Amino acid sequence: MSSTGAEGEAAAYLRRPFALTSLPKRATLRATALGVMEARLNGTVVGDEVLAPGWTSYRHRLVVAEHDVTDALVLGENVLAAIVGEGWALGRLGWENKRNHYTTRPALFAELVLEYGDRTEIIGSDATFRAGTGGTRDNSIYDGETFDARLEQAGWDVAGFDDSSWEGVEVVEWPLEALTDSPAEPIRRVEILPPVEILTTPSGKTVVDFGQNLSGRVRFTVTAEAGTVITLRHAEVMTGGEIDVETLRTAKATDRFISAGGTRTWEPRFTFHGFRYVELDGWPGEVDPTTISAVVTHSDMRRTGWLETSDPLLNQLHSNAVWSMRDNFVGVPTDCPQRDERLGWTGDINAFAPTAAFLYDVRGVLRSWLQDLAVEQKATGFVPWVVPDVLSTPSSPTALWSDVAVSLPWALYREYGDRAILENSYESMTSFIRQVEGLLDGDGLWSSGFQYGDWLDPDAPDDNPAGGKTDRHLVASAYLCKTTREMADTARVLGHDQDAAEFAALAERVRAAFRREYVTEKGRVAGETVTGYSLAIAFGILDDEQRAHAGDLLARLVAKAGYRISTGFAGTPLVTDALSSTGHLEEAYLLLMETGCPSFLYPVTMGATTIWERWDSVRPDGTINPSGMTSLNHYALGAVVDWMHRTIGGLSALEPGYTHMRIAPQVGGGLTSASLRHTTVAGDVEVSWQRDGQSMTLIAMVPDGATAEVVLPSHPDGETHEVGGGTHRWTYEIPAAAGGSYDLDSTLKEIADDPAAWREFFGAFSAHFPGVPLDGNAPEAAFMTVSTMLEYVPGASDELRDDLAAALARASEGASA
Ligand code: BGC
C-alpha cells in the first residue's frame, strides 16, 4: 500500500477474500497491528475492544488479541478485512511533536486459524491482501479524527466487492518474537453518558456538557445533507462562557464528520479525548440531547474498591480520584488523557499505585506495563521516565519516577499477595537499586544528578515545577531509604537470603547517612518543610523519640500554613499519614478538609470532577493557570484517597493479600459515618461505622478464611478484637469531645493547641491578611493574647477584631457540640 506514515494520512483499509468449501469446527482470529486496528469478518466487527492493540513497547511486546469467529464464517466466499489507523505506533507522541516512534508504515498481522478436526488451515496476513482507503481520513490520538462518509466504499468488507482498483500490499519485517498475549484487559467502551446540558455560549456556539471530565469520545446520530461538515472540539473546561482549550496544549482534539446524506450514527474509531465539554459546529438545526452521548473508553478493569462518607465534598474528592484513574488507564497508566502527552509517566503511577490497587483490579494493566518497563530497562540500562519510552534523551535515575521499578511491584505484592509479581520484576528491581547504589556519595547519600524532587510543590516557581521548597536530594535519599527496604523485604520474601542481607545493609547505610545529614538529634528535619518531615516520618527514618518530635513540628508547620497544602507529588501521598501516625489525627483531617486555595478540596469547590495536576490549575478567579502544567485530569495528587481508605474507611492489609487485616477507622473531621467495600483476593470486606450523638456502631464483614484485628473507633478504652470470617457488629457509647472556650483574651498558643479552633481563627485572619503567616507556636504566643496581638498588627480594623471574635465563638461552640 502507498501509505508513508506521514501526518494526516487516511487510514488503511485492507481486505482479503477467501473461499470455504466446508465450515471449520472452530475458527480463531489472532490479530494485531502497528497502528490501531479494527478487524472485520464478512462485514462484522470482530470483538468489542477499541484502539487495539493498545500501547506497549511494540518492538519487544506487540499484543495479539484472539477472538473466536467460528459463527462469522460462511460457505463460499468470505472476506477478512481490517482498518488500520496511525495510533501510537505512527502518530505523534509527546510534547516534542515527534511522530513515527515505532514505524513509518501501518501494518496488520492477522492469522485466521481454521480447525477442521483432522486438519488446520491458516489464512494469514500475506501479500494477497489488497489495500485501499475509505471514510476514515486523518486519525490522530492527540488531534482527532475525520470521517468523510462520502468516501466510504459500500461493501468493501464483504464478498463480491470489486477491489481491482485497490493496491497490493508489502510484507513488513517485524520481530515475530515480539508477538505476545497480555495480562491486561483490552480497552473497551465502558460506559455511555448522556449530556447533562446543551448550552448556547455568548458567542453563539453550541456546547454539550457531559457533566464529567472523562476519557473517550462522542457518538451521535444525525440527519444531514451530503457534504455537511460537523466539527466537534473537545475541552475539559469552560471559561468566560466558552470552551477553553488551554489545558490541551497543542493537541487539537477535534473530530470531523462529513455526511453522505441521510441519517447516520458515528463515533470516531482511532482517537480518544479527555473532555467534559464538546463544542459542535455545523450541526443541522437544534441538537436533540437523546441523539448524542459520551462514550467512556478505557482499560476494562474490574472495580474493587468503594468508600462513602457523610461529607459530600469528600465523596466528590473520592469520585474525582476514581474518574482520574479511569481516564488515565487507557492501555498504559498515563499522566493525563487530554493534552499532547498522555504518556506512561513513572512518577505519577508510583504516587498513585496503592490507591489504584484498592479501587480496581490493576494486575492486568500494571503487570503488562511492568513487563514493558523491564524489557526497556534491560535493553537500555535505565528505567525510562515514561514507559513505553518515547523520549528523545535517555532518562537518568530519579526518586519517585524511576524507582517505580521497585515500589510498584512491592505495592502490587502488598495488595494481591502474589509472589510471582516480585519474581517477575526481581531483575529489574535489583538492577535499579544497584545502579543507584553506584551513584551514592562517600557518605551514602544520593546527592547528585537531576531529580524531580517534590514536583509541583505549590510554592515552586510556575516555570520550574521541580524547584519546590524541599531539597531535591533530601527527597531522593528519603525515597531511597524506602526502596532499599522494599528491596530487602522482596529478597527475603523470595528467599534470596544473601541479597536480602546486602540490601538490608544498604538500607541501613542510607538511613544512617540521611539522619547524619538531615536530622537533628531531637528530630528536626533540615529545611523544615512539610514534605521533608512527611518523608522522614512515613519512611521510618527516625527513631521513636525523634519521630514524636518531628510529628509535633510537622503539625505546627501544617497549622502555620492554615491547613493549606504545601506538598507536591513526593509529599502529598504521605503527609496525612505522617500526621495521623504521630498523634495528629485532627490536623490530618483539617488538612484533608480545607477548602481554601491550595488544598485537597479547593478543586472540588471549583466544580472539579477529576483530580487536577496543579493545586490551582484553575485559579480562584476562574481563569486557567497559564503555567502550561495545568491538566485537569492527573491522578497523582489523588493519592490521599489511599489514606482515606485506611483511616476513614479503616481498612489496611497486615499480611499481603489481606489474609490478615486491620479494621481501625479513625473518626474525625466532623464525619458521622463512612462505609467501605473492598474486593480483596481473600474475599469481600465491608466496614461501616456510624456515629449517632454519643452512640457509635461499627459493622465489619470479614471473608471466611481471613482474620482481622478490629480497633473500635473512639472507644473510651481503645477496645480491640481479633475476629475471623463473618459479620461482626459493635455498638457502644463514646465520650463527649473535650474542647476549650476561646475569646479575644485567649493566648495564641491556647488557640493553636486546638487545631479546629486555630483553623477558624487563622481562616478569619487570612481573609484580612491573605498569605501573612501567624505562628501559634512561637515563644511569644504563650503569653500573647489576641487583643494584644491586634495592637501590633498595622492596619488592624474593628472589622478584623469582630471577625476574629466571631471565629473564636464558633470554635468554642464547635468544641462543646
Ligand atoms: C507530566 C507529569 C510528569 C512530569 C515529569 C509532566 O509533563 O504530566 O505528570 O510526571 O511531566 O516531568
Q: Which residue lies with its CA nearest to atom 9 of ligand 1? A: 335
Asked if the structure places residue 738 within a domain, the reply is no
* Minimum-distance ligand 1 atom for the alpha carbon of 348: 10
The pLDDT of 35-60, averaged and rounded, is 98
Same domain, yes or no, for 362 and 463? yes
Which residue's C-alpha comes closest to atom 4 of ligand 1? 345
CA of 336 to the centre of ligand 1 (A): 9
N residues, the chain: 817
Q: Is the pLDDT of residue 753 over 70?
A: yes
Q: Are residues 531 and 644 in the same domain?
A: yes
Please state the rounded mean pLDDT for residues 51-80: 98
- Rg of the chain, C-alpha, whole Å: 29
Q: What is the 8-class DSSP label of residue 526?
A: T
Atom of ligand 1 nearest to the CA of 569: 10
Pick from 345, 396, 627, 634 the residue to mutate for probing ligand 1's pocket: most ligand atoms within 8 Å of its CB: 345
- Give residue 251's pLDDT band: very low, low, confident or very high (50, 70, 90): very high
Percent of the chain with pLDDT over 70: 99
> Across-strand partners of 686?
677, 701
Residue 1 has what pLDDT?
66
pLDDT tens digit string along 696-715? 999 999 999 999 999 999 99
Q: Are 39 and 91 in contact (CB under 8 A)?
A: no
Asked if residue 408 and residue 288 are part of one domain, the reply reads no
pLDDT band at 9 (very low <50, low <70, confident <90, very high): very high
Ligand 1: centre distance to CA 345 (Å) = 6
Q: Is 429 contained in some domain?
A: yes
637 CA distance to ligand 1 centroid (A)?
12
CATH of the domain at 690: 2.60.420.10
Summarised one tens digit per residue, pLDDT across range 323-354 is 999 999 999 999 999 999 999 999 999 999 99
8 Å CB contact between 652 and 489: no
Is position 669 within any domain? yes
- pLDDT at residue 817 is higher than 50: no
| Cα 160 to chain centroid, rounded | 48
Task: Please choose, from the candidates 136, 130, 129, the residue with its C-alpha nearest in 3D space to the C-alpha of residue 152.
Answer: 136
Q: What is the CATH number of the domain that holds 174?
A: 2.60.120.260
Distances in Å between the Cα of 333 and the Cα atoms of 17, 367, 388, 536 are 38, 11, 10, 28
Please state which of the ranges 490-494, 645-649, 744-748 shows the lowest mean pLDDT.
Answer: 744-748
- Distance CA(452)–CA(569), nearest Å, equals 9
| pLDDT the model gives residue 63 | 98
Within-domain flag for 3: no
Which residue out of 613, 686, 750, 760 is catalytically annotated? 613
- Residues 191-220: pLDDT tens digits? 999 999 999 999 999 999 999 999 999 999
- What is the pLDDT averaged over residues 470-490? 98
Tell me how far apart the alpha carbons of residues 357 and 593 are, in angstroms, rounded to a whole number.
Answer: 24
Q: Helix axis angle, 572-580 relative to 544-560, nearest 10°?
A: 110
Measured from the CA of 336, which atom of ligand 1 is nearest?
A: 8
Q: Is the CB of 64 under 6 A from ligand 1?
A: no
Mean pLDDT of 243-252: 96
**Which ligand 1 atom is nearest residue 636's CA?**
9
- Pocket test residue of 324, 334, 335 for ligand 1, highest count of atoms within 8 A of CB: 335
CA of 647 to the centre of ligand 1 (A): 29
Strand-strand pairing, 707-711 and 695-702: unpaired
Residue 740 forms part of a structural domain: no
Is the same domain home to 242 and 338?
Answer: no
In this prediction, residue 816 has a pLDDT band, given cuts at 50, 70 and 90, of very low
Distance separating alpha carbons of residues 48 and 434, to the nearest angstrom: 44
Q: Which among 657, 638, 640 is positioned nearest to 648, based on CA atoms? A: 640
What's the mean pLDDT in 769-793? Answer: 83
Task: Give the span between the Cα atoms of 484 and 477, in whole angstroms.
Answer: 10
Kindly report the CA angle at 159 between 157 and 165, in degrees rounded to 5?
70
- Residues 6+ positions from 335 with CB-CB distance below 8 Å: 328, 341, 342, 343, 345, 348, 613, 631, 634, 636
Q: Taking Cα atoms as reference points, which of 85, 185, 199, 96 lies closest to residue 138?
A: 85
Choice between 673 and 626, residue whose per-residue pLDDT is larger: 673
Identify the CA nearest to 270 among candidates 55, 512, 469, 565. 55
User: Residue 233's domain spans which residues?
Assistant: 188-299
Count each helix (H run) and each strand (E run) in the chain, helices first. Answer: 18, 35
Give the Cβ contact number of residue 119 at 10 Å.
Answer: 8
Residue 177 annotated as catalytic: no
Cβ-contact 333, 356 below 8 angstroms: yes
- Nearest alpha-carbon partner for 664 in 735, 725, 587, 585: 585
The total number of structural domains in the chain stands at 5
Grid cell locating 757: 479552633
DSSP-derived letter for residue 644 is I
pTM for the predicted model, two decimal places: 0.93
Q: What is the pLDDT of residue 812?
A: 84
Domain boundary among 182, 203, 237: 182
Same domain? For 387 and 399 the reply is yes
Which residue, by CA, sits nearest to atom 3 of ligand 1?
345
- 109 & 250 share domain: no
What pLDDT does 2 receive? 64
pLDDT average, residue stretch 537-558? 97
Strands 197-200 and 187-193: unpaired
- Cis bond leading into 573, ω under 30°? no
Q: Of the candidates 648, 673, 698, which is a domain's last residue?
A: 648
Same-domain status, 729 and 774: no
Residue 276 near ligand 1, beta carbon < 6 Å:
no
CA 217 → CA 23, 126, 255, 290, distances in Å?
38, 33, 9, 16
Distance 617 CA to ligand 1 centre (A): 14
The answer to whether residue 484 is domain-embedded is yes
Round to the nearest angstrom and report the end-to-end CA distance of the chain: 76
Q: What is the dihedral of CA 671, 673, 677, 680, to 10 degrees?
A: 60
Task: Please indicate whether residue 341, judged by its CB atom, sits closer than 6 Å to ligand 1.
Answer: yes
- Is 502 known to be catalytic? no
Ligand 1 centroid to residue 324 C-alpha, Å: 15
Instruction: Please tell me whether residues 262 and 165 are part of one structural domain.
Output: no
Task: State whether the beta carbon of 335 lies less than 6 angstroms from ligand 1.
Answer: yes
Same domain, 339 and 407: yes
**DSSP 8-state secondary structure symbol assigned to residue 288:** P
Residue 668 in contact with ligand 1 by CB distance below 6 A: no
Q: Is the pLDDT of residue 767 over 90?
A: no
Which of these three, 705, 733, 761, is where a domain ends? Answer: 733
Residue nearest to atom 11 of ligand 1 (CA): 345
- At 739 the pLDDT is 67
Rounded to an integer, the average pLDDT of 537-564 is: 97
Could you report the per-residue pLDDT of 674-686, keeping only the tens digit for each? 999 999 999 999 9
Q: How far is the CA of 9 from the centre of ligand 1 (A)?
A: 30
| Nearest-angstrom CA–CA distance, 181 and 694 | 56
The residues near 677 (Cβ < 8 Å, ≥ 6 apart) are: 305, 306, 307, 684, 685, 686
What pLDDT score was predicted for residue 814?
A: 63
CATH of the domain at 532: 1.50.10.10
Whether residue 408 contacts residue 432, with contact meaning beta carbons closer than 8 Å, is answered with no
> In the prediction, which pLDDT does 125 show?
83
The three-point CA angle 311-313-316 to 5° equals: 110
Average pLDDT over residues 636-662: 98
Of 500, 614, 678, nearest in space to 247 by CA: 614
Is 25 part of any domain?
Answer: yes
452 and 402 in a common domain: yes
Q: What is the rounded average pLDDT for all residues in the chain?
A: 95
Ligand 1 atom having least distance to the Cα of 347: 10
Whether residues 427 and 489 fall in one domain: yes
Report the sign of the C-alpha dihedral through residues 6, 327, 339, 189, in that order.
positive
352 and 292 in a single domain? The answer is: no
Q: Is residue 280 part of a domain?
A: yes
> Starting at the edge strand that comes first in sequence, how are the strands of the sheet with 65-68 ordered?
65-68, 26-34, 107-115, 120-124
* Cis bond before residue 202 (omega within 30° of 0): no
Q: What is the pLDDT of residue 421?
A: 98
Active-site residue (options: 86, 341, 376, 486): 341
Interval 118-152: pLDDT, tens: 999 999 988 899 999 999 999 999 999 999 999 99
Rounded-to-integer distance, Cα 667 and Cα 649, Å: 9
- Give me ligand 1 centre to Cα 448, in Å: 21
Judge residue 178's burial from the number of C-beta atoms within 10 Å of its C-beta, 0-12 exposed, 13-18 middle, 19 or more buried. Answer: middle
347 in contact with ligand 1, CB cutoff 6 A:
yes
704 Cβ neighbours under 8 A, 6+ residues apart: 683, 724, 725, 726
